[in-house]
Amino acid sequence: MGVTLKDIAAEAGVSLMTVSNVVNGKQSRVSAATRERIMRIVKERGYIPSASARSLAGRTSRLVGLLVPAAGEASLTIDPHTVEVVGMMERELRRLDYHLMLRGIARREEITEALRSWNLDGAVLLGFQDSEIDRLKAAAIGGVALVAMDSYSANPLALEVRSDDFGGAELAVRHLIALGHRRIAFAGPGFSATGVVRERFEGYRKVLAENGIAFDPDLVSTVDIGHAEGEAHGRWLAAERPDVTAVFTTADLLAIGVVEGLANAGRSVPGDVSVVGYDNADIASYVTPKLTTVAQDLPGKAAETVRLMMDRLAGKARPEQATTLQVRLVERETAAPPPA
């Protein structure tokens, strides 16, 4: 059986409460000499605090949930953006001695079930529709510190962290127009309840208008984010929209699929059609040709998400609900002037 707080108290000649206070960081009423003696014994005896005991003592679980929409049997981590966010958030939380719990949500009701059932200190909602976040009520979240990533919800219960989606689309489309493109298609998921895609679409439309290019609804396609969906869309573009010389997509995984679909249909990228993605996921620099894309500051997004959550847990007031991080264009090999 492992060493206990009672064993340490007996060896140090102090009360069990004194040892518990020192181990759990409540050291203001304990003398420096006593703290040093207790911590020396803790180290020598190899005492490891029980997470559940610390939770009870501190009235905090030190658990943060990352809730992500789950669709059927698909893996939660198939999207490179989600993979990177999970890794970066875990790193930020580990530095603060918090633990990350990843949970897939198949039904909207499961959001409140997860927030109520897992004794979470905080939770991050990633990839949910704004309307789903809008519906959350104070009674449903039970005091959990809530941060919505990539959200445009108006719900005051959730702090928000997102990239400059509108500005990112502007960067992408201006780059394509500067290369000489006029027939520029847009591909991304439906955005009736998703502000991220809507903002990127509006940025696309704005730059077209600024450059005297008439908006053509036939060049806008609703395509779910996925490699297979992108590949099918690339083949469709080659067959049904042969006059298109450039495509702006709302995610790298979709863009990479479009590149492959175009190639499978006999169209070269960027010789015949240029393609620009969004996210700058690691995979964007691994594929051939390497993907031109809009880069989000994912490390900054993860760090800001955790910082906002810790501020809310500490009871600090926030002057603004949303934090918007800047983006940049990364030029690689999938965008070039249109064919003569």
Tens digit of pLDDT for each residue in 16-45?
A: 888 877 876 666 678 888 888 888 888 888
CA dihedral 10, 13, 15, 20 (to 10 degrees): -70
DSSP 3-state assignment of 264?
A: helix
Mean pLDDT calculated for residue range 140-161? 89
CB count within 10 Å of CB 82 equals 19
274-279 β-sheet, strand order: 220-222, 184-188, 246-249, 274-279, 292-295, 328-330
CA Rg value for the chain: 25
Q: Please, where in the chain does CATH 3.40.50.2300 lie?
A: 63-163+298-325, 165-295
Instruction: Select from 339, 336, 228, 327 the least CA-distant residue to 278.
Output: 327
In the chain, residues under CATH classification 1.10.260.40 are: 5-58
55: confidence class by pLDDT, cuts 50, 70, 90: very low
Residue 127's pLDDT band (boundaries 50, 70, 90)? Answer: confident
Average pLDDT, the chain: 88
Give the fold, CATH level 3, of 165-295: Rossmann fold (3.40.50)
Residue 62: predicted pLDDT:
85
Q: Please list the residues that pair with 185 across neighbouring strands.
A: 247
Q: What's the pLDDT score for residue 266?
A: 97
Tell me the CA distances in angstroms from 187 to 220, 231, 236, 276, one per residue in order: 6, 12, 12, 10
The C-alpha atoms of residue 209 and residue 159 are separated, in whole angstroms, by: 33
> Cα separation of 282 and 303, whole Å?
19
How do residues 166-187 score in pLDDT, each as one tens digit? 999 999 999 999 999 999 999 9
Residue 319's pLDDT band (cuts 50, 70, 90): low
Which one is predicted more confidently, 165 or 26? 165
Homologous superfamily (CATH) of 63-163+298-325 is: Response regulator (3.40.50.2300)
Whole-prediction pTM: 0.80
Which 3 state secondary structure label does DSSP give 214? coil
Interior CA angle at 9 toward 3 and 14, to 5°? Answer: 170
Lookup result for tokens 């493109």: 181
Q: What kind of fold does domain 5-58 have according to CATH?
A: 434 Repressor (Amino-terminal Domain) (1.10.260)
Question: 257: closest CA among 235, 286, 285?
Answer: 235
